[in-house]
Structure 1
Amino acid sequence: MAQNVLAVYPGTFDPITLGHEDVVRRATQLFERVIVAVAAGHHKKTMFSLEERIEMCREAVKNYPQVQVESFSGLLRDFVVARGGKAMVRGLRAVTDFDYEFQLAGMNRSLMPQVETVFLTPSDKFQFISSTFVREIAVLGGEVHKFVSPEVADRLAVKVRSMSSPS
């Protein structure tokens, strides 16, 4: 484990999946402290509010005392540098993620040369899971318990019901 190294794992986490949780677990084996940085998501329309996503992330990482959950808006660079981050964790599920993540890592290196990007892959059983797929499955009435924690599955069910009920 890297001594006194803070890593930031940024994302929208809409919702946090078992794949995200697995990446957090892996990051805790490499870094002394990890911040799960929940993006306000100004560039994306999210299903869950920022507060809901923070709550779900906090629930998901509650067994890791070295992990904290914070929100950020604006440039990720400003968030990472302000907290003294030395590494940024990015999850890679498949080759299709690599091109985008590689470009993003290059841009981040240009913006914050003192911060390394570390790519982690989730376990095989989680590599195909994405928040987008999970939301779509939930909205279409499918079963999501294999992809998210029970707490997140319950929140998804409530959210889907509230979206489909007349206002």
Structure 2
Amino acid sequence: MKRIALFPGSFDPFTKGHEDIVLRGLQLFDEIVIGIGRNANKQRYFPLDQMVGWIEDTFRAYPAIRVVTYEDLTANVARNLGARFLLRGLRNTTDFEYENSIAQVNRHIYFEVETVFLITSPHLAPISSSIIRDLHRYGQPVDEFLPYTLLQGQQ
């Protein structure tokens, strides 16, 4: 049976920390689906279609990685994709507290799903999407935190 993992998130933006989790996840899974959740109640900073393109370009050399977008419960999306695993990265204990609750609910909805946590590589732990958005919003360079390059003023 193919081991498929869904790596869900808003990825606004997708960071080198996210990239690290995906690449390390390839050692555990046959296929990783990066799922970008759409939330109608939230305004994205980086356009969804543009983010999909950047992520697809980042992993162009990896046929076992693909990108989807969704508006549904993550557990339902995993079930529909045939993914028996949810892949999540943890930077700190605050992340664990939040992710543990979500993992329990996902397991309640889709009993066959297992959440697999990977600890963020230490040099990437300080990176968060919200910090990158703030830096970018106020004109600071952010390319060192991203696996792709933003053009000046690009959003």
TM-score normalised over the length of structure 1: 0.87
Q: Which residue of 2 aligns with 1:40?
A: 38
Q: Secondary structure at the match of 1:30?
A: coil
Residue number in structure 1 paired with 2:92 = 94
Whose RCO is larger (CA < 8 A, sep 6+)? 2
In structure 2, stretches of 5+ residues that fail to align are none
Residue 154 of structure 2 aligns with an amino acid whose one-letter code is V
Whole-angstrom CA distance in 2 between matches of 1:48 and 1:147: 15
- The higher radius of gyration belongs to 1
Amino acid at match of 1:127: A
Residues 38 and 53 in structure 1, CA contact (< 8 A), matched pair in contact too? no
Q: Which amino acid aligns with 1:35?
A: V
Give the CA deviation at 1:111. Answer: 0.6
Q: Secondary structure at the match of 1:74?
A: coil
Number of the residue aligned with 2:68:
70
Query: What residue in structure 1 maps to residue 154 of structure 2?
Result: 158
Which runs of 5 or more residues in structure 1 are unaligned?
160-167
| Aligned residues with identical type, % of pairs | 32
Equivalence for 1:52: 50
Name the TM-score, length of structure 2 as normaliser: 0.93
Runs of 4+ with deviation above 3 angstroms: none
**Considering only aligned residues, what root-mean-square deviation do their CA atoms show, in Å?**
1.4
The question of 1:82 aligning with 2:57 is answered: no
Query: CA separation in 2, counterparts of 1:43 and 1:60?
Result: 28
Higher helix share: 1
How many pairs are equivalent? 155
